[in-house]
Amino acid sequence: MYRHNQNHSRHISLHDCRAERMALENGVLSLTFPDGIWVTPEHEENPTQNVVRTGEAQVDFTILDEEIDGITVYVYRRGRGGKVWREEWEAENFISAVNEGAFQLEFLYDYRQKGAPYRLYHCVVWFEQKPYCYECDLYLHTDSVAYRWNELRCDRIW
């Protein structure tokens, strides 16, 4: 389906990219980014000296043990008096809400340790109404990721 298929994150960034669809099938969590993902100038497919967007992209995480338990979502909500509460949201409900358009998931930061079987993404969940957004953490029990896209959009630079 996609012309480019990369199995490592070198020279790829999800920073400021919004996933609008998610699916968990056969132990693979797939996220679709209609507005693309970022590719750095060091990437062999990038002919520019800029960080550029791809066209629509898909990122696939192979969840270890193929269980939804390998996906944990924590959302940070501000309560009265400015206190922030961390809530765990059920992964299945979270995925459904993204697919139903209840919110979009924007990626900010990627934390991982070399050789560790997990990834932590600090994200923002965006809504159309107040409170408009919550910060969240997405923990994925995975050691395999694939980045897929068709074309680079050299007219869309960072």
Residue-wise pLDDT for 16-38, tens only, equals 999 999 999 999 999 999 999 99
Domain boundaries, position 149? 4-157
Domain count, the chain: 1
Q: What is the pTM of this model?
A: 0.92
* Lowest-confidence pick of 12-16, 127-131, 134-138: 127-131
From CA 16, how far away is CA 33, in angstroms rounded? 11
Could you report how far apart the first and last alpha carbons of the chain are, in Å?
26
Q: How many CB atoms lie within 10 A of CB 158?
A: 12
* Nearest residue to 136 (alpha-carbon basis) of 72, 75, 78: 75
pLDDT in tens, 25-82: 999 999 999 999 999 999 988 999 999 999 999 999 999 987 788 999 999 998 888 8
* Residue matched to tokens 């990122």: 59
